[in-house]
């Protein structure tokens, strides 16, 4: 049994009808994207519960074995990104438990959207593409596919027609744009519904992007 994740909950309405589970990047925590909620400027009728989980604390090889919050260990920083798949699978189980918790609280899975930045985006991809629940969307920010060779065709995937948003920075020194473009190409060729955009920014988010995220959320969680 996986350890339950601690998380922060923020709501735009006292009676939310949709949920966004937003996963932070390496070394950050659930507070990292809290401030994005007012920046999204969502209309009052957009009743969303935002859940920001804290990744477990573990040693990260590429950081010299330092303990930090991480969804998985990164063993080599190459374009292929050698990662600890046991960690990835554990994180998928933990986030899946959050999905199931929301379903028990009355939110249909089709009203639950997975979002993630960097490492968190890699988990959002992996869980969304192999999930047993039909989701509202997958938002992948400045991230990559950890198992690009095993991604199924959309026709074979429960979330094959689920909208996928891919954003990346053209000047990203941490996760090269090439990895974001590779994910976009693979998913598009396999028939997934991909919407992508590149911004003139490093490994971060920018105001123009936040506006685009707001528009996308309102479209897919009306």
pLDDT tens across the length of the chain (222 residues): 467 899 999 999 999 999 999 999 999 999 999 999 999 999 988 999 999 999 999 999 999 999 999 999 999 887 778 999 999 999 999 999 999 999 999 999 999 999 999 999 999 999 999 999 999 999 999 999 999 999 999 999 999 999 999 999 999 999 999 999 999 999 999 999 999 999 999 999 999 999 999 999 999 998
Can you tell me whether residue 102 is helix, strand or coil?
Answer: helix
**Residue 171 and residue 201 in contact, taking contact as beta carbons nearer than 8 Å:** yes
Is 1 within a domain? no
Q: Which residues are catalytic?
A: 118, 172, 203
Tokens of 75: 């063993």
pTM of the model: 0.96
* Residue 165: C-alpha distances to residues 59, 138, 151, 216 (Å): 30, 6, 17, 8
**How high is the pLDDT of residue 3?**
75
Distance between CA atoms of residues 112 and 89, nearest Å: 20
**How high is the pLDDT of residue 77?**
82
Is 2 within a domain? no
Can you tell me whether residue 84 is helix, strand or coil?
Answer: coil
Is 205 within a domain? yes
**How high is the pLDDT of residue 2?**
63
**Residue 140 and residue 123 in contact, taking contact as beta carbons nearer than 8 Å:** no
DSSP H or E run through 91:
helix 85-104
Domain with residue 63: its CATH number is 3.40.50.1820
Total domains in the chain come to 1
Range of 162's domain? 7-220
């Amino acid at each position: 049994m996986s350890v339950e994740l601690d998380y922060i909950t923020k709501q735009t309405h006292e009676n939310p009808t949709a949920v966004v589970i937003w996963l932070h990047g390496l070394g950050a925590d659930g507070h990292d994207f809290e401030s994005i909620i007012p920046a999204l400027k969502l209309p009052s009728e957009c009743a969303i519960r935002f859940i920001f989980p804290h990744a477990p604390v573990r040693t990260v090889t590429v950081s010299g074995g330092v303990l930090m919050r991480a969804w998985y260990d990164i063993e080599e920083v190459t374009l292929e990104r050698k990662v600890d798949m046991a960690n990835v699978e554990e994180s998928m189980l933990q986030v899946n438990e959050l999905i199931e918790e929301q379903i028990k609280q009355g939110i249909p899975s089709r009203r639950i959207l997975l979002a993630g930045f960097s490492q968190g985006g890699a988990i959002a991809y992996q869980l969304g593409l192999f999930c047993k629940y039909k989701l509202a969307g997958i938002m992948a920010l400045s991230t990559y596919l950890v198992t690009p060779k095993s991604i199924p065709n959309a026709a074979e995937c429960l979330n094959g027609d689920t909208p996928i948003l891919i954003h990346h920075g053209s000047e990203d020194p941490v996760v090269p744009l090439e990895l974001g473009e590779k994910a976009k190409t693979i998913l598009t060729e396999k028939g997934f519904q991909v919407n992508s955009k590149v911004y003139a920014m490093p490994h971060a988010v920018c105001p123009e992007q936040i506006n685009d995220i707001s528009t996308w959320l309102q479209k897919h969680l009306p």
